[in-house]
Chains A and B, each alone.
Chain A
Amino acid sequence: MVADVGYGALVITFLLCFYGIGAAIYGVKKKEQSWVESARHAMLLSLPLLTISALSIINLLVTDQFQVAYVASVTNRSMPTYLRVTALWGGQEGSLILWVWLLSAFASAVMLRDWKRDREFLPWVIIVCLVTLGFFLILIIFVENPFAKMWITETGERVTSIFQPGGSEPFIPVDGNGLNPLLRHPGMIYHPPMLYLGFVSFVIPFAFAIASLVTGRTDDRWIRITRRWTLWAWLFLAIGLILGARWAYDVLGWGGYWGWDAVEIAALMPWLAATPFLHSVMIQEKRGMFKHWNMFLIILTYDLMIFGTFLTRSGVLSSVHAFAQSAIGPLFFAFIVLTLGTSLWLLSRRWQDLKSETRITSLLSRESMFLINNWLFMGILVVSFWGVIFPLLTEALGIVGDTFPSLSHIFTGQKVTVGPIYYERATGPLLAGLLFLMGVAPLSAWRASTARTLGRAIWKPFAVSLVVLVIIIGGGIRHPGALLAFWLCAFVTVVTLYEFWRGMAARRRRSGENYGLALWRLAARNRRRYGGYIIHLGVVLMALGIIGIEIFQTETQGTIAIGKQMSLGEYSFTFDKLDEFDTRDGRNVARAEISVFKNGEFVETLAPRRDFYYESGQRMTIPGLRSTIEDDFYVLLVSWEPISAENATFKAFHNPLVNWLWFGAIIFILGTFVAAWPEREKQYMPIKTDQSIATAST
């Protein structure tokens, strides 16, 4: 019954999409606002309907309705209620419901804004949102239906279908499969919805961009309206990526946080397109340049987001994440081709209207720095995209080898993949370039900037960063890559703090406020600029963590008896005891206790353990972790002798600086809050006059 209500709500929403699209188009054609209003109401009505649908699934999940195939596949009787609720996104079908619900919620929020100044955009924003919503509803209703039930036919065959096949009996399993224990981690509970929040919110700026292209109102109004949406979308995506990384570090037990898995990259790619977009829209607002480019970037972000959802959901690539194979691949492909084609066609129609109003004159100007930043981000995006499609490409290119036998040794048709080495090698220099720009760009002036003016602005922070470099070398670090990376981090940090200082000092001189107040008001009046700087500082801290673990990670492994010791660098630990016991929630736990010493001094007792889930037969290794700002000591219990527990094998990692990765992520998030916090809408004027560096404001 509940399943039927949920399914019915989905179908009605789907029909509503058709109605809304039709009404909006008719309203535009006939210039009748009442039809557009009706379409707006259709959009708004989708939210309560999809809420009913989502609540229906949650109801089925928490009440053990195992006849519903989705419920049986992601829950079981022993799971606590909160995990059953989160099982909504534990599998493909349910997560698509979350997807459409979020889209409907965001689109509804947009519908409720004040449209007085932008009435011509409204029908087209509705159409873009409803087309996207309709597409996902097709997937859900016709291919991946979370409400489908299991039945036994007369011939004894088990089928899954929404309606009872003639002559069949309901098939009700005693218990479900349960959620994969690997996914029962706080990072994993919030990681998918955060990614989805990020993915879905990019639909809104895209919808306004399309509305702007269709209506021909090609000033930067669409950018101003969606600036905050874009920032929030970008933030959620970043939080999703970071939570995924943290989950990998805590749960997967390989001492790392990012494996360049195809699905990780699929989530990263929209972020790689959105980040240059966030930067280059500022140039459009200030100087009226990069208009085609910004349109292209938001179109790209949207389609990469769809592509990302597709990669995570279709099983087209081998990956730990690809937990299902289904027929949705061709549908996604068709939708991407359709939206990309239509968007680019619209863009080409408006090409003349989007001509730049001004020109870049100096290679060292702020505009130029932003341009180079865009190119570098595109470079990383292309590297990532190439890595993801390379296996598919090599397989498909077998046809070349078949046709031209002389090339058959190159184009064998055998799938060739590229591992982490590829990504690390290819993105490393580009990331270094971005860090360097992060240091230089804030000091370059808009419009005209010469080597002389830039040099004057930069020499002090540059000198300070060299002093830091000397200190680091004095500390005994010799690895050239690490030295370059540390220097870049120091340079960006000094420049950014210098910017805060200059702004604060200037404000204090002008207003007579004390330092604290001057700093507060400075940031409050220029939230995007100073929020952006805080984000940059967060990125630098994250870079420190990444340098630490990528370049300086050490590991060891060994089997030791109780009372014996193992060491790794400054650290050592003794194996104190090992307990094996069953828990009430159906696990067998093997838990070792070790005493950790640093330079011979006792510092902490850790308890690396291994959980075995009886029902699923799944094991899970939870590291013992001592985490300080200096380094992490990460110990895994690898194996042990079950009864006597005399010997056990441990693997230990020493991960210097890795905590800065998480700490930097928090700063990054705070910075985005500062930049995205709502302020009253005001009319920005483009800068008309040359300004000296000190007063260039954002």
Chain B
Amino acid sequence: MSTTLETMDSNPGRSKFLVGGLLILIAVVYLIISSTIAGAQTYYTVDELLARGDSAVGTPMQVLGAVLGDTISYDRDTQTVSFTMVHIPADNDVVDAQGGLAAVLEAAVKDPNRQELQVVHIGIAPDTLEHQAQAIIVGTLREDGVFVASELLFKCPTKYEEVQPEQIDA
């Protein structure tokens, strides 16, 4: 944009361009701020969310966790998917220190002291919803402590990168 400003030096039409550019700038800034407010979702781990208690109820957010496979159920009548999610750390460094994502997911679902979050979602279960999947869910926490998810995202493709083969040739 500096090009134009410079081009416009001592040009009688310069103010028109300044005004035009400024208007676009203001419009872009306005759009970014207002849309950020409209679209913002705070990102929590299960532990962080549970630690916030009731103050977390009602605000849109994303929650990270690991899926417990035997809790997955689908109710045909209400077309509701429900499952339980347990805490996993969000920080990549922590994950690496604990042996990578696959190891973290496995440890999380086996941990007897884990914190759990119940999730319901009206709609279909994605193909990637399975035991030990890393889940990012979008939605709000209900007053009874159940998380109502409007969007489910499971990161299973990861496992093709990270799970090492276990067999060995004799």
List A residues at the B interface (Cβ < 8 Å).
66, 72-74, 91-92, 150, 152, 158, 171-180, 182-183, 253-254, 289-293, 315-316, 318, 320, 322-325, 355-356, 359-363, 368, 371-372, 375-376, 378-379, 382-383, 386, 390-391, 412, 414-423, 425-426, 429-430, 557-559, 610, 616-621, 636, 638-639, 647, 649, 651
Contacts and interface: CB of A to CB of B under 8 A. Distances in A.
Interface residues of B, number: 68
Contacts of A391: 43
Contacts of B155: 318, 320, 322-323
Contact of B165 (A72, A180, A422): A72
A171 B168 contact: yes
B57 interface: no
Contacts of B24: 372, 375-376, 379
Most B CB within 10 A of own CB, among A558, A610, A617, A618: A618
B35 A425 contact: yes
A69 to B, nearest CB: 8
Contacts of B143: none
A415 B167 contact: no
Given A175-B165, A415-B42, A420-B39, A360 B7 contact: yes
B40 interface: yes
B62 interface: yes
Given A180-B157, A415-B43, A621-B127, A174 B11 contact: no
Contact of A291 (B3, B40, B169): B3
Interface in B1-60: 1-4, 6-8, 11, 13, 16-17, 20-21, 24-25, 27-28, 31-32, 34-36, 38-44, 48
Contacts of A361: 11, 13
B113 interface: no
B5 to A, nearest CB: 10
Contact of A172 (B25, B74, B160, B169): B169
A538 to B, nearest CB: 26
Contact of A356 (B3, B38, B41): B3
Q: Which of A289, A324, A420 has the most CB of B within 10 A?
A: A324
Contact of B79 (A172, A390, A415, A557): A557
Interface of B: 1-4, 6-8, 11, 13, 16-17, 20-21, 24-25, 27-28, 31-32, 34-36, 38-44, 48, 62, 64, 74, 76-77, 79, 90, 92, 95-96, 100-101, 123-128, 130, 136, 138, 151, 153, 155-169
Residue picked from A174, A175, A359, most chain B C-beta under 10 Å: A359
A559 B76 contact: yes
Contacts of A72: 164-165
Nearest to A358: B7
B3 A323 contact: no
Given A180-B160, A418-B39, A426 B32 contact: yes
Most chain B CB atoms below 10 A, which of A368, A610, A647: A368
Contacts of B34: 425-426
Contacts of B2: 292-293
A183 B128 CA distance: 13
B28 to A, nearest CB: 4
B20 A363 contact: yes
B79 A289 contact: no
Nearest to A648: B76
Contact of B36 (A315, A418, A617): A418
Given A414-B44, A649-B76, A383 B31 contact: yes
A620 B128 CA distance: 8
Given A177-B165, A558-B79, 17 more contacts: A177-B159, A289-B7, A292-B2, A323-B158, A325-B96, A360-B17, A368-B17, A379-B27, A391-B43, A422-B38, A423-B35, A423-B39, A559-B79, A618-B127, A619-B127, A638-B124, A651-B123
B79 A174 contact: no
A557 B124 contact: yes
Nearest to B12: A361
B32 A363 contact: no
B161 A419 contact: no
Nearest to B131: A617
B3 A416 contact: no
Contacts of A182: 127, 157
A163 B27 CA distance: 58
Which of B13, B31, B62, B76 has the largest number of chain A CB atoms within 10 A?
B31
Contacts of A325: 92, 95-96, 100-101
A73 B157 CA distance: 11
12 contacts: A92-B161, A171-B168, A174-B168, A322-B155, A363-B13, A414-B48, A417-B40, A421-B38, A617-B130, A621-B127, A639-B125, A649-B76
Given A292-B3, A418-B36, A649-B79, A362 B13 contact: yes
A506 B115 CA distance: 76
B6 A356 contact: yes
A636 B123 CA distance: 12
B149 to A, nearest CB: 13
A559 B124 CA distance: 12
A253 B124 CA distance: 10
A414 B42 contact: yes
B153 A320 contact: yes
Contacts of A171: 168
B60 to A, nearest CB: 8
Given A172-B168, A174-B165, A320-B157, A355 B6 contact: yes
B17 A375 contact: no
A91 B163 CA distance: 13
Given A325-B95, A372-B24, A430-B28, A390 B153 contact: no
Nearest to B79: A557
Given A359-B8, A363-B20, A429-B27, A419 B124 contact: no
Contact of A363 (B17, B25, B157): B17
Contact of A415 (B27, B90, B125): B90
Interface centre among B1, B8, B28, B158 (most CB of A within 10 A): B28
B39 A315 contact: no
A557 B127 contact: no
| 6 nearest CB pairs, A to B | A422-B39, A173-B165, A415-B43, A426-B35, A619-B127, A425-B35
